[in-house]
Structure 1
Amino acid sequence: MSERFVIVDLETTGNTPTQGARIIQIGAVKVEGRKIIDRFNTFVDPACEIPPFIAELTGITAAEVKGAPAFAEVAPQLLAFMDGCAFVAHNVPFDQGFLTAQLDMEGYHWLPQVSFDTVEMSRVLFPSQDSYKLSELSGFLALNHTRPHQADSDALITAELFLSLVHKLESLPLATLQQLDKVTLRLSSDWSQLIRPVIKKKMNIHAALAETQYDMFGQLVLKRHEEKSEKQPSLSQPSFTDTMTTAFTHATDHVEDRPGQRLMMERVYKALSSEAYLLLEAGTGTGKTLGYLLPSVHVAKKTGKPVVVSTYTVALQEQLLQEDIPLLCALVDFPVEAAILKGRHHYLDVKKFERSLAYCEEDSYDVLLTKAQILVWLLETANGDRTELNLSSGGENYWLTVQSDYGDASDPRCFYQRAQMHATEADIIIVNHALLMIDTIREVPALPSVSHVIVDEAHHFADVARDHLGTSLRYVSYAFAWQRLARLLEEASGLSLQLQAQLTHMSVIQEDVDDLFRMLRAFVMETEDGRTGNTGRRSCSYAPTVQVGAMWQAIFVCAERIYTHGLKLIKVVDSVLTSLQEAQCTPATYAKIRATNEATKAVYRHTQALNTLLLTAEEGYVYWIEAEPKGAKNATYLYRKPMDVSDCLADQFFARKRSVVLTSATLTVNDSFSYYVDQLGLADFGVETLQILSPFAYETQTKLLIPSDVPDVRGKNDTLFVDDIAIKIWRIAEETNRKVLVLFTSYDMLRKVYYNVRNLNETRCLPLIGQGVTNGSPARLLKIFKHETSGILFGTNSFWEGMDLRQAGACHLVIVRLPFASPDEPFVRAQIEQAKSRGKDPFKTISLPQAVIRFKQGFGRLIRSTADNGAVFVFDRRIVTTKYGATFIQSLPSVPVLEGKLEALLEMICNEGEE
């Protein structure tokens, strides 16, 4: 291959040349000998209009391309510039495909023999990056990207990115390169053209001998694991008062001496030391995290036993370890050891991964890409934690086949065992609620024996308990499990005639699985009880063993057939594999047996879930089905959840701990903790309660504004409400010149309002970011929002809590509807019916408390520091027109509440801003 590369970027009027899209700018950079040697840049007259959004995105106007050469004039020069070079682009399918099509129109038949896609290369060589957009990668590599979305600038940055990728590739150890050469053969880029010369060079100079910073595991290369020195006991333990005094003496700009935080520290320490149970609501700004970490580490040092800190999400676990623990370490005069422990499925099983590399011939593109990513990632990861990887959806499915399970964990290179060992040596073990519940209900605990627990974000604890005491099954996972077992059985069929005989049965079962989930979806779509919830899925409840009707009878018979025949097949396969494993066999055969055995266990777990969900019934559980109305004919999900988890939590969790502190910014309704005392089963534990108010001056920092000219949200004319609030949201952003976060309770309404506001935004002067409309995760959308100088962010679900608007700049908050859970959701319906059957008012005991807690969470998004200020607009007039509306307002901090027409409210807050 030539050592010459041409890096090309195109700006175009659209995506499809056959539909009239044309090139408006070409940027090309030539690289030779790992250096940029030449450039080719030109505007192109497209002989058609440039759409406004393209002009906005690129900054290229009709005036700039007027008088530029036509593509017919540019084509010969460009072809000459690219001659003899490998083709490189950031998203080759687009640039190469578009260029090929437009050259064809001019009579040129061009197709590069060798090409490299820097998106694909970045995914492999930078496997932990959050995003593979050119702007994000240039920031990661500190490249000066001056004019994004202009071809000359993008081509230059892509060239520099390509050189960085080549340099990274050349730095990889020999064994990794040899494995990469195998798995990248069927990827889009011509990887072998880059890899093989490097392999040859490294073999000639015996480079492998010098690669001492790595460990070897079979044919894999791993980052060298440095054993931690043994935990040293503290020579002397200061009093807790002295620990607090030292902490505030060392305080920096990030830590303030706040009365509420001191009180929290004292009460948490008292609860942990006296083996008490404590429910503690700490208002926003209290400094809650340090408020429980400082007493926890002191108790851990004093007792010599770790304290477990549990939070809601994996992201919050990482935040605790990466941000809060280092801050704690800087405040105390003794060493602090902290460790994260996650569910076993988060960790890579290196043995499984190595075995999977022997099977590449039938792998999909996504699986091959993921294997390549993991090969590079193993050189960098100390934890083997899946959350470090940026995987595609196909990669997520592949991960299921190589994640750690309940197999042998005796190898010290086992990432899960390593994490457990680290946890046993720590003062603070950071887990999430899911793992805490798994540890509670499993016979073999995942955590070391601990008696003191802090539960942060405790308002989610009962819901997580319901999830993990319940059962779920979706078509995609179950079908994938059977497909994987079928493939492995086919590969292993040469080892045994009995295995070969199971393939026919396997095919029949797979057809039954497809038929079952198609019937389940049809049942949901056709039943009169089906409802469409806020997620857009249609759902209906069912009673597994007493449901009637011809369709349900067919479902029951099909599920019974799958369960019976599936267990027989699993039993035969398991027996054959056991006998084969006991016989003498080659390493390759042993690898096939182990892989098939793991797949069999996965099918068994899914099949038992099917039995639990469709063939048996248990009192106290609610069962329901969800289906995607616009999805595949078998896009169906089955769920089972316990109605009440209070007894289980009381008996299996709280009764087994000496002290538990549960804390959150939202644990009270109307200043009462009774809702969560009942939900969590704490009534018999003499639980103490403490409410610490926020230190923020809400009276001056914010106002609760309720427009009087908003249509009734409960009205029959949904279009009227959507049209009206779209205009009002636009006016808030336009008139106040501030960013606006809008919180919805349904994706459907969010989308409708988003597109209405976009129509008002004709000049595209205001950036609009919509969850589920704009590409990206909620965290990614929030990051974009923070970097904008103005704009509107439309969010639902995850944006009601956990999303910190700090550093987002001046903002206003709009709450579209009071966040009552939809009565159309099966679990909510079941809760309501249960409350009625017990003689309780379901609205007062279920619906209202849940909505108030969520409303408080949404309100808390706005004021996150003493410097923040802004208004909270509520478009749901029930907050002032109903008796229960007062409960929402009374549950908030003391804040001015103003009602009036929107324009009057806007005039008032704008005039205040001028003052």
Structure 2
Amino acid sequence: MKHKYVVVDLETTGNSPARGDRIIQVGAVCIENGEIVSRFSSFVQPGIAIPPFIEQLTGITDDMVEDAPFFEEIAPSLLQMLDGAYFVAHNVSFDYSFLQGELENAGYMPLSMPLLDTVELSRILLHDADGYQLNQLADHLGISHTNPHQADSDAEVTAELLQHLLSKLGQLPLVALQRLQPVLRKLQSSTEQIVSELIAEKSNIISDDSGYDFYRQLVLKKVHRDLNNDEERDTGELSALSLREKLKQHMSQFEVRESQKKMMETVEEALENHQHAMIEAGTGVGKSLGYLIPGVLHSIRTGRPFVVSTHTVQLQQQILDRDVPILQKIMPFPFHAAVLKGRSHYLCLRKFEHSLQDDLDDNYDTNLTKAQILVWLTETEHGDVEELNLSSGGRLFWQQVRSDANSCLGHRCPWFSRCFYHRKRRQAQSADLVITNHAMLFTDLKADSQLLPAYKEAVVDEAHHLEEVVSDHFGTQTDYFAFHRLLERLGTTDSSQAAARLSQLADLLEIPRSSDVFSDWNEKMADLKQELDDMFRLLKLYVLNGAKASAPDTGKVFIRYSREETESRNFAPVLEMFDRCSSMIRDLLKRLQKISKAVADKDDHLNFQQKGFMADLAGLRSDLEEEMSSLSHLLYSPLHDEVYWMEADIRGARHAVWLYAKPVEIDDILADEFFAKKKSVILTSATISVRNSFRYMIDRLGLADFGPVTSQLPSPFRYDRQVRLMIPSDLPLISECDAKTFTSMISRSLFEIAKVTKGRMLVLFTSYEMLKETHTAFKQLMDEDEFMLIAQGIDSGSRARLTKNFKKFDHAILFGTSSFWEGIDIPGDSLTCLCIVRLPFSPPDNPVTNARSEKIRAAGGNPFYDLSLPQAIIRFKQGFGRLVRSQSDYGAVFVFDRRITETRYGRSFLSSLPKLPVDVRPLGELTEELDRWLMQKEEE
């Protein structure tokens, strides 16, 4: 495959040559026969001033281009280089169209050549990259990138990236390339041309494809057979502590931690004595090994699986990748661990195979995602969507091809033996250790324990999230868009969706009177959509007219409602519309059932694809029935032990309204359905006590009648030496001034602290609105390049991506809210200062909090002290824990909320922290003391 590729990168004064923007630098790299053979680079005189933003981004100034050639002077050299080549760029549409514009202005004929976009190719071939910006891909592949946003450097890096991508493409097996070819035809790049030549080359050679599993014209990575646990394993005199001693031999940096030893003893005793336990293990205790070692040992002794449930996918993966290999080294005999997530995480190979038959779908994101998955299948053993970096459009396509119970063919599916989900379930059934997540744990509970292997012992890590997860899982919700998506999938008889395909299949099988079923289908579908639209529009008006509260930072308003409201005269029009919708949906479902039954009677005449379609249709019918059942419950059957509310997006579509129901309390659910049915459940977290007591969590989670063992294990970190808690005494409370004044003072305070710490700050907010305003005010205070500001919701990217960017830059400040209060890990010099702007109390008008407060008040309790305060303390402890992640970390925690020292309840926050120095003084004195202390720490 001998091609000439010219990789081009342009730096420009803006985005549009039509609006007068011009090129200021060109970089080009020529690749032939897989090698870089020549380079071209030149600044370009644009004839206009370079905007300050472009100067800051690229480092290219007016002085640097003052004596540079004009574009028409370098155009001949560039065109000669491009002759007979593929035009390659990172986001090729920009560079190619901009160059076309400049050539046209210079009087040249337009270019006509095949294009390659390295963004598109990277998305297809590098499914595990964090992101697809050039610097992210360079980091991912270990390519040196010395001058980002300068054309010569960017072109060089893009050329190295292209070499890697073409090499990887060439290594794909023949069948995978054949499957890719028709999909690539619908994308932007001319990759299909290259793949055609690769197919021709590979058709004439015998290659080593032993690492692949070829089945039904798809190529999967070959995986080992599922293992079993039939071997005898004598645990003898083994104990958790004796195994812990072996850690020293296998972990060069293993530290003796008394708290970890105590945790192992507590877990071991709880498991042996069939007791539930609640263990708070401070940061640095090593709690994962603290429960894994005794848990796995107990599993091997009893022959029952030991289940570990985490709240986050990241911790699940960390246990599998970091902790399980350590256990396998110290165990004197093999044991088996398996990860099991909800089935929507896994690809359904039958559905994906079927999607490849659809040649009519020209949606770009759909076809790009098909190409991604085809390549990913040659590498993945798990089929888990978490391994893929999908676009938003790609995630929509995933909904069509993910595994789900309603459309599963089970043993009748030819993919069953290779099914990712069922393989994971088989592995879990024979595993000693099953690692799952809270969502799956309680999905299993709702499904009468049919998903996870039968277990009696479990650890629930990150247990402070348990109430929220259980409340979600035993609640109900729906919205207009849920119905819209289902009806779109059902479609009309003149579409390519389910109804049309069923009609065609019925005709093919000559099913009597099928034409009667579909004769007025499109009219009925249109009427139903209109009725649903009207009903949800009316619901939105109902919310907007009755709303007394707003959901902070979301642009939504909401109202709570009860059976009395739904039975009132004002609500009657909604219920009348629901009854009509319900009747219409029942009619359509009855028609589908009638044809489906007739098709099922001719099962012998159906091929595999047709049987798969009928399974998917049955799943679609079931999904629609479930959605109607949810809406019926939400509108007709409000119960007294649940809280009901509706939310409407003020700025959203006319039918943008969501309905929710959640249990007010979950203690009885957990007590009866979970704790009473298990021998031993260990609940653990770094933040599960309040004021050194477990009473709040024991009551909230329904453990009061079980007498759980409790243990509070301190962190090995020396907080008294590693951390200073600083509370400025001269900052106002937000109630003492207007929001603008408060934001201005917060911004100035953060700026003064940042000058001392040289950035390296994490600032935690309780409101996105305040974060946004503070970010704007802070930018106005600083010089252009003084600090790198990274802000959640302002800078794009996930929490993990923003955190990674924060670590990469010197003098960086990270502004975060919501999810940034926990789960981010920034050890070392990247983080020296944590600022907590306000104590993290939940909004009192949150529907669930409000309903729980009412129940506490009715029982004679105090909602603030019994609910709001404990919740805020746990959240505060989570935020505080972001600063010190290792024994060598040090830094200051600033709290800008004077309530922590000036109110009686504020002392509860302080008493829940480890013992450490607390300094309350005016900000100026605190920054002077911080400067002195940091210099001292740096000298130690």
Partner of 2:884: 863
Distance 1:515 1:376, change over 3 A: farther
Contact 1:650 1:682 in 2 (8 A): yes
Which consecutive residues of structure 2, in runs of 5 or more, have no partner in the other structure? 492-496, 507-514
Tell me whether 1:193 sits opposite 2:198 in the alignment. Answer: no
Partner of 1:356: 355
Per the TM alignment, residue 549 of structure 1 is displaced from its structure 2 partner at its CA by: 7.6
What secondary structure is seen at the aligned counterpart in 2 of 1:412?
Answer: helix
Per the TM alignment, residue 524 of structure 1 is displaced from its structure 2 partner at its CA by: 3.1
Contact 2:840 2:872 in 1 (8 A): yes
Tell me whether 1:655 sits opposite 2:660 in the alignment. Answer: no
Partner of 1:50: 50
Contact 1:309 1:429 in 2 (8 A): yes
Tell me whether 1:569 sits opposite 2:584 in the alignment. Answer: no
Q: Residue type matched to 1:540 in 2?
A: I
Distance in 2 (alpha carbons) for counterparts of 1:106 and 1:523: 61
Per the TM alignment, residue 262 of structure 1 is displaced from its structure 2 partner at its CA by: 0.6
What secondary structure is seen at the aligned counterpart in 2 of 1:623?
Answer: strand
**Runs ≥4 residues deviating over 6 A:** 548-551
Distance in 1 (alpha carbons) for counterparts of 2:418 and 2:260: 41
Partner of 2:402: 403
Q: Residue type matched to 1:490 in 2?
A: A
Tell me whether 1:908 sits opposite 2:925 in the alignment. Answer: no
Q: Residue type matched to 1:493 in 2?
A: S
Q: Residue type matched to 2:579 in 1?
A: E
Partner of 1:506: 525
Counterpart pick for 2:211 among 210, 213, 235: 213
Could you give the per-residue CA deviations for residues 777-815 of structure 1, whole angstroms, max 9, x where no partner exists?
101111111122221100111111111121353410000
Deviates more, 1:245-254 or 1:616-625: 245-254
Per the TM alignment, residue 130 of structure 1 is displaced from its structure 2 partner at its CA by: 1.9
Partner of 1:145: 145
Partner of 2:420: 415
Contact 2:241 2:264 in 1 (8 A): no
Per the TM alignment, residue 663 of structure 1 is displaced from its structure 2 partner at its CA by: 0.7
Distance 1:255 1:535, change over 3 A: farther
Tell me whether 1:393 sits opposite 2:398 in the alignment. Answer: no
Distance in 2 (alpha carbons) for counterparts of 1:731 and 1:26: 41
Partner of 1:328: 327
Tell me whether 1:680 sits opposite 2:701 in the alignment. Answer: yes
Q: Residue type matched to 2:145 in 1?
A: H
Distance in 1 (alpha carbons) for counterparts of 2:163 and 2:593: 51
Matches within 5 A, 1:545-556: 546-547=565-566, 552-556=571-575
Partner of 2:637: 616
What secondary structure is seen at the aligned counterpart in 1 of 2:705?
Answer: coil
Distance in 1 (alpha carbons) for counterparts of 2:102 and 2:559: 52
Q: Residue type matched to 1:469 in 2?
A: F
Distance in 2 (alpha carbons) for counterparts of 1:721 and 1:307: 51
Tell me whether 1:852 sits opposite 2:846 in the alignment. Answer: no
Distance 1:550 1:146, change over 3 A: farther
Q: Residue type matched to 2:588 in 1?
A: L
Count of residues paired in the alignment? 913
Deviates more, 1:175-184 or 1:547-556: 547-556
Partner of 1:558: 577
Distance 1:493 1:363, change over 3 A: farther
Per the TM alignment, residue 366 of structure 1 is displaced from its structure 2 partner at its CA by: 1.1
> TM-score normalized by structure 2?
0.93
Contact 1:741 1:812 in 2 (8 A): yes
Distance 1:541 1:780, change over 3 A: same
Per the TM alignment, residue 2 of structure 1 is displaced from its structure 2 partner at its CA by: 8.9
Partner of 1:222: 220
Deviates more, 1:503-512 or 1:724-733: 503-512
Could you give the per-residue CA deviations for residues 239-258 of structure 1, whole angstroms, max 9, x where no partner exists?
31663453344252442111
Partner of 1:377: 376
Per the TM alignment, residue 871 of structure 1 is displaced from its structure 2 partner at its CA by: 0.8
Distance in 1 (alpha carbons) for counterparts of 2:617 and 2:799: 38
Per the TM alignment, residue 491 of structure 1 is displaced from its structure 2 partner at its CA by: 3.2
Distance in 2 (alpha carbons) for counterparts of 1:620 and 1:860: 35
Matches within 5 A, 1:145-294: 145-205=145-205, 210-231=208-229, 232-240=231-239, 243-244=242-243, 246-250=245-249, 252-294=251-293
Contact 1:45 1:69 in 2 (8 A): yes
Per the TM alignment, residue 588 of structure 1 is displaced from its structure 2 partner at its CA by: 4.6
Contact 2:828 2:889 in 1 (8 A): no
Counterpart pick for 1:451 among 449, 456, 466: 456
Distance 1:72 1:761, change over 3 A: farther
Contact 2:690 2:874 in 1 (8 A): yes
Distance 1:32 1:544, change over 3 A: farther
Counterpart pick for 2:534 among 515, 523, 528: 515
Distance 1:571 1:73, change over 3 A: same
Could you give the per-residue CA deviations for residues 463-504 of structure 1, whole angstroms, max 9, x where no partner exists?
100000011224434322211121221233223325533333
Q: RMSD of the TM alignment (CA)?
A: 2.1
Tell me whether 1:303 sits opposite 2:305 in the alignment. Answer: no
Partner of 2:900: 879
Matches within 5 A, 1:410-809: 410=411, 411-443=416-448, 445-486=450-491, 487-496=497-506, 497-498=515-516, 500-501=518-519, 502-543=521-562, 546-547=565-566, 552-583=571-602, 584-715=605-736, 717-809=738-830
Q: Residue type matched to 2:106 in 1?
A: E
Could you give the per-residue CA deviations for residues 269-297 of structure 1, whole angstroms, max 9, x where no partner exists?
00011100111111122111111111111
Which consecutive residues of structure 1, in runs of 5 or more, have no partner in the other structure? none
Distance in 2 (alpha carbons) for counterparts of 1:466 and 1:833: 17
Deviates more, 1:608-617 or 1:129-138: 608-617
Per the TM alignment, residue 363 of structure 1 is displaced from its structure 2 partner at its CA by: 4.5
Counterpart pick for 2:837 among 807, 816, 829: 816
What secondary structure is seen at the aligned counterpart in 1 of 2:445?
Answer: helix
Distance in 2 (alpha carbons) for counterparts of 1:792 and 1:764: 12
Contact 1:489 1:503 in 2 (8 A): no
Identity %: 42
Contact 1:25 1:42 in 2 (8 A): yes
Tell me whether 1:84 sits opposite 2:103 in the alignment. Answer: no
What secondary structure is seen at the aligned counterpart in 2 of 1:26?
Answer: strand
Contact 2:891 2:934 in 1 (8 A): no
Distance in 2 (alpha carbons) for counterparts of 1:76 and 1:557: 73
Distance in 2 (alpha carbons) for counterparts of 1:518 and 1:107: 56
Q: Residue type matched to 2:221 in 1?
A: K
Contact 1:879 1:885 in 2 (8 A): yes
Partner of 2:494: none
Per the TM alignment, residue 738 of structure 1 is displaced from its structure 2 partner at its CA by: 4.5
Per the TM alignment, residue 650 of structure 1 is displaced from its structure 2 partner at its CA by: 0.5
Q: Residue type matched to 1:572 in 2?
A: R
Distance 1:541 1:15, change over 3 A: farther
Per the TM alignment, residue 712 of structure 1 is displaced from its structure 2 partner at its CA by: 1.4
Contact 2:756 2:930 in 1 (8 A): no
Contact 1:738 1:791 in 2 (8 A): yes
Deviates more, 1:768-777 or 1:422-431: 422-431
Partner of 2:852: 831
What secondary structure is seen at the aligned counterpart in 2 of 1:872?
Answer: strand
Per the TM alignment, residue 41 of structure 1 is displaced from its structure 2 partner at its CA by: 1.1
Could you give the per-residue CA deviations for residues 745-790 of structure 1, whole angstroms, max 9, x where no partner exists?
1111111111111122232221100011111110111111112222
Distance 1:116 1:515, change over 3 A: farther
Distance 1:617 1:810, change over 3 A: closer
Partner of 2:69: 69
Distance in 2 (alpha carbons) for counterparts of 1:11 and 1:877: 49
Contact 1:494 1:500 in 2 (8 A): no
Distance in 2 (alpha carbons) for counterparts of 1:20 and 1:713: 48
Could you give the per-residue CA deviations for residues 95-114 of structure 1, whole angstroms, max 9, x where no partner exists?
12222233333344524342
Distance in 2 (alpha carbons) for counterparts of 1:405 and 1:312: 22
Contact 2:306 2:434 in 1 (8 A): yes
Contact 1:280 1:661 in 2 (8 A): yes
Q: Residue type matched to 2:51 in 1?
A: P
Per the TM alignment, residue 417 of structure 1 is displaced from its structure 2 partner at its CA by: 1.0
